[in-house]
Structure 1
Amino acid sequence: MSRILHILDHSLPLHSGYTFRTRAIMKAQAAAGWEVAGITGVRQYQHGQVPDAVQETVEGLTFHRTLGEVSGPSPLREWREIAALADAIVALHARWPFDLLHAHSPALNGLAAFRAAQRLGLPLVYEIRAFWEDAAVGNGTGSEGSAKYRLTRALENYVVNHADAVAVICEGLKNDLVGRGVPPSKITISPNGVDLELFGSPPPADSALAAQLGLTGKDVIGYIGSFYDYEGLDDLIATMPLMAHDAHLLMVGGGPMEQALRAQSLASPCADRIHFVGRVSHEEVERYYSLVDLLAYPRKKMRLTDLVTPLKPLEAMAQGRLVAASDVGGHRELIRDGDTGTLFAADDPADMAAALDRLFANRTGWDAMRDRARHYVQNERSWQKNIYRYDPVYHLLIGDKAIARAA
C-alpha cells in the first residue's frame, strides 16, 4: 500500500473551506486504499491552534505538526518557515516512510515540499486551490501589481515548474497556468466536491429554529459562508428593497465585513426582514440550510472569482436548495443558468432582484431544477468520484521514481 503525505497550510481541528477540502480528500483516499497523513507548517499557530504534540489524530485522520516558532522580518520569516517545514517533512519520512508528497497551496508549502522531495528523491504533486496573490486582493490584504503580488506569483510559477505534476480545482486556474506556459498535460483538474455523507441527506425543515428566528411560514433567501468583500454581500443586502417579493434574508457566517454589513442592514428599509445569526458549527449548518428556499451567492467580478470555483453552491445543491449566483467565471463552471440554477449579472443589485423575483414567481419549476442540481452533484461533483482523478497521477509518478532509483 502506497503512502501519501499531504503538506498543508492548516488542518483540522480548525474549520475552514481549506480544511474541509483536505478532510474530504484524505478520507476518500483512505477509503480507496491509500495510506494518508498530513503535515502542517508553523502557520497552524496563526490560525488559532497551538499544537502541543508532534502528531494529532482528528476525525480518524493523522496530522503531523511542525513545532517551534519562526520570527524575523518578511521575507526572512517566510524563508525560515519554508526551511522548518522542509526539515519536518524529511524527519517525518524517517519515522513514517511515504512514497509521494502532495503539497497544497500556498507556494510556501510547495517550496518546502520541493526541498524535501529533492532530499528524499520522491515525487511531488503541487495542488493550487487559488492563486494566493489574487486571494489577498479579494480579502483586502493586498493590491494587484504590488511587489508582494509579483513575488507571490513568481514563487508560484517556480513551484509549478519544478513539481512533477500539478493539480488545480477548476478550468479557470488551469487555463491561467497554460497561459503562463505550463504544458496542459502536466495539469490535472480535481474539482471541488461535496462529501455526500455529510450533505447528501437533507433534513426536514427545523420548525423550532424557524420559530426562534421569526421565519415560520416565510420565504427565505439565504447566504451561508464567509463575509469577505469579494462575496458581494453588500449587493445582496442592497437587493432586498428592490425586490417585488416579500422575502426574508438569512445571513449565516462571519468575517471581516460583518460589522459593515450589519450596519448596512440596519439602515435598509427591509431591516426587519434581514437576519444575522453569526457563525455556526459545521455540525449545525444543516439546520440552517433546512430553512432556506434559495441560496444566493453574489460574488463580485474580479480575477479571484473569475478563476476559482467556490464550494458552497455545491453544498447547497446537495442539500436540495435552489441556487442563484452572479455570473462570474467560477460560478459559470458550476451552474447551468435556467437548468441547475440561476445566474444574474455580477455587481448589479437590480438584476439580482429581477432574477430572484422570477424564481419566486415560478415555483412550479423548483422541484425539477433542484433534482437536476442534486443529480449533477451526485454524478459529477461528489468526493467519492472526484478522488479517483489523482490515482493515475500518483501511480505514474511513484512508478517512475521507483524505476529511476532502481536504475
Structure 2
Amino acid sequence: MPRILHVLDHSLPLQSGYTFRTRAILKAQQAFGLDVRAVTGLRHTAPTGEAEPEDIDGLQFWRTPGTPAGAPGVREWREVCALTDRIVEIAQVWRPDVLHAHSPALCGMAALRAARRLGVPLVYEIRAFWEDAAVGNGTGTDRSWRYWLTRQLENRVVAGADAVVTICTGLKDDLAARGVARDRITVMPNGVDLALFGSPLARDPALAETLGLGSGPVIGFLGSFYPYEGLDDLIAAMPAIVAVHPGARLLLVGGGPAEATLRAQAAASSAAGAICFVGRVPHHEVDRYYALVDVVCYPRKGMRLTDLVTPLKPLEAMAQGKLVAASSVGGHRELIEHTVTGTLFAPDDPAALAAAMNQLLTDRSGWDERRDIARAFVERAHDWGRNAQRYLPVYQAVIARNRYTKGDSARIAA
C-alpha cells in the first residue's frame, strides 16, 4: 500500500480547525488502506521524553525538535531548514511514496526541498492563504513586506509541487488567476466526520438551566473568537433580536484573540442579560452545547479571507441537525443555499443580521424540512468518508509520473 507522509504546521493533541481536518483526512485514508504518518514543524512543541512517532488516536506523528528563534525572516528560514532535515531523516527510515504538505507555505517549502533531495513526489494542499489570515486576525496588513513575501513563497511552492489541492473553489479560482493550470488543482472540500458529529445529543435541561438559557430560542456560535468572525456584529444585533423575541439568548462557546473585547462589548449592551459566554470546552463535549442551540450563527466579516475560504463549522452544525444562519460572504455561499440549507444575510451589518434572525425565529414552519435537507447535503457532499477518496487518484497520478520520470532518466543515463 502507498505510504503517505503528511507535513503539518501542528497537530493533535492541540485542538483547532486545522488539527480536526487533519485528523479526519488521516483517519479516512487509513480506512482506505493507505499507510499514513505525519510530521510537524517547530511551531508544534515536541513532547519531552516521548517515544517517536507519537501515537494519538491511532495516528502517528513525528515532531521536529527545537523552537523557532531569530529575527523575522531568519526565524522562518530556520523553521524551513529544520523541518526539511527532519522530513529527510524520517524518509530515509520510513520510505514514503508521497510527501503531502499542508499550508502554510513554510511547510510547503520544507517539503518541496525534501522532495527534491529524496526524489519523491510532492502534493501541496492549501487550506487558506496565510497572508490573508494574518490580515483577518489583525496581525498583518495587505501592504506589508511579510504579506508580499508569504505570497511569493506560496507561488514558488505551488510551481514546484507535483499536484496542488485546495479546500474550495474560491482558492482554486485565485490560483488560476495567478496562472496556475486548473488541471493541476484538485478541490478537496471541508468535511465532517459523521462518526463524531453524526449523532446529535438530546438537550440537557440541567446544563441549559445552569447557563441561564431559559426557554429560548437560543442562538449559538461555537468556535474561535477571531476579529474576522464578526461576533461583534452578532452581539450588536442582540438588542433588536430581544426586542422581538424577549426570551432569545446568545450562547458563545470558545475563545480567542477577540474574547476580551467581545466580553466588554456584551457587558455594555442593553441585552447583556441575554448573552452567555461559556469559554473553551473540550472537543468531545462540544455536542452537548450544540444540543442547546436552535440556530447557529456565523456572521463573518466581508474580506478577502472570508470570500475565498470555506469554514468547517457550518458543516458541523448541519450534521448536528441545527439551523444555520450566516453572512453572505463567498466562503459561506459555497456551502449554504439561502432558504434551502440555511439563511444568508449581508455581512458587516448588525441590522440586517437582526432582521434575518427575527424572521427565521418568527416563522418556524419550515425548520424541520430545512434541517433535514442540510443534514442530507452534508452526508452527500461533505462526509469525509466519501470526500477523502478524491486523494487516491491524485496520489496515483504523481506516483506514476515519478516512476516514469525516474525510468526515463535511467534510460537516458544508460
CA change 1:262–1:97 in 2 (3 A) is same
- CA offset at residue 67 of structure 1? 1.1
- CA offset at residue 251 of structure 1? 0.5
Report the 3-state secondary structure (helix = DSSP H, G, I; strand = E; otherwise coil) of the residue aligned with 1:108.
Answer: helix
> Are the equivalent residues in 1 in contact too, given 2:43–2:68 (CA < 8 A)?
no
- 1:54-93 matches, cutoff 5 A: 54-93=52-91
> Are the equivalent residues in 1 in contact too, given 2:252–2:276 (CA < 8 A)?
yes
> Are the equivalent residues in 1 in contact too, given 2:43–2:67 (CA < 8 A)?
no
CA separation in 2, counterparts of 1:51 and 1:397? 36
Aligned to 2:169: 171
Aligned to 2:4: 4
Report the 3-state secondary structure (helix = DSSP H, G, I; strand = E; otherwise coil) of the residue aligned with 1:364.
Answer: coil
> Are the equivalent residues in 1 in contact too, given 2:24–2:193 (CA < 8 A)?
yes
- CA offset at residue 69 of structure 1? 3.6
Aligned to 1:291: 292
- AA of the residue aligned to 1:19: T
Deviates more, 1:358-367 or 1:49-58: 49-58
> Are the equivalent residues in 2 in contact too, given 1:196–1:318 (CA < 8 A)?
yes
Aligned to 1:37: 37
Deviates more, 1:393-402 or 1:52-61: 52-61
CA change 1:260–1:92 in 2 (3 A) is same
- 1:246-261 matches, cutoff 5 A: 246=246, 247-261=248-262
Structure 2 unaligned spans of 5+: 409-414
Q: Give the alignment partner of residue 123 of structure 1, picking from 121, 124, 134.
A: 121
How far does the alpha carbon of each residue in 1:161-216 deviate from its partner, in whole angstroms, 9 at most, with x for none? 11011000001000000000000000000010000000001111111211111224
Aligned to 1:330: 331
Report the 3-state secondary structure (helix = DSSP H, G, I; strand = E; otherwise coil) of the residue aligned with 2:60.
Answer: strand
CA separation in 1, counterparts of 2:203 and 2:325? 20
CA separation in 1, counterparts of 2:15 and 2:67? 22
Structure 1 unaligned spans of 5+: none
CA separation in 1, counterparts of 2:260 and 2:66? 35
Aligned to 1:273: 274
- AA of the residue aligned to 2:60: T
> Are the equivalent residues in 1 in contact too, given 2:219–2:297 (CA < 8 A)?
yes
Aligned to 2:231: 233
> Are the equivalent residues in 2 in contact too, given 1:295–1:321 (CA < 8 A)?
yes
- Report the number of matched residues: 404
Aligned to 1:347: 348
> Are the equivalent residues in 2 in contact too, given 1:44–1:50 (CA < 8 A)?
no
- AA of the residue aligned to 1:349: P
- 1:108-257 matches, cutoff 5 A: 108-243=106-241, 244-246=244-246, 247-257=248-258
Report the 3-state secondary structure (helix = DSSP H, G, I; strand = E; otherwise coil) of the residue aligned with 1:13.
Answer: coil
Q: Would you identify which runs of 4 or more consecutive aligned residues in structure 1 move more than 6 Å?
A: none
Aligned to 2:314: 313
CA separation in 2, counterparts of 1:130 and 1:373? 25
TM, length-normalised to structure 1: 0.98
Deviates more, 1:174-183 or 1:211-220: 211-220
- CA offset at residue 266 of structure 1? 0.9
Sequence identity (%): 62
- CA offset at residue 160 of structure 1? 0.5
Aligned to 1:13: 13
- CA offset at residue 55 of structure 1? 2.0
How far does the alpha carbon of each residue in 1:37-74 deviate from its partner, in whole angstroms, 9 at most, with x for none? 000011102xxx64544420000000001113442212
> Are the equivalent residues in 2 in contact too, given 1:51–1:67 (CA < 8 A)?
no
- CA offset at residue 93 of structure 1? 1.1
Report the 3-state secondary structure (helix = DSSP H, G, I; strand = E; otherwise coil) of the residue aligned with 1:39.
Answer: strand
CA separation in 2, counterparts of 1:218 and 1:146? 46
CA separation in 2, counterparts of 1:336 and 1:72? 47
> Are the equivalent residues in 1 in contact too, given 2:315–2:378 (CA < 8 A)?
yes
- AA of the residue aligned to 1:77: R
How far does the alpha carbon of each residue in 1:131-158 deviate from its partner, in whole angstroms, 9 at most, with x for none? 0000000001100121110000000000
CA separation in 2, counterparts of 1:397 and 1:126? 12
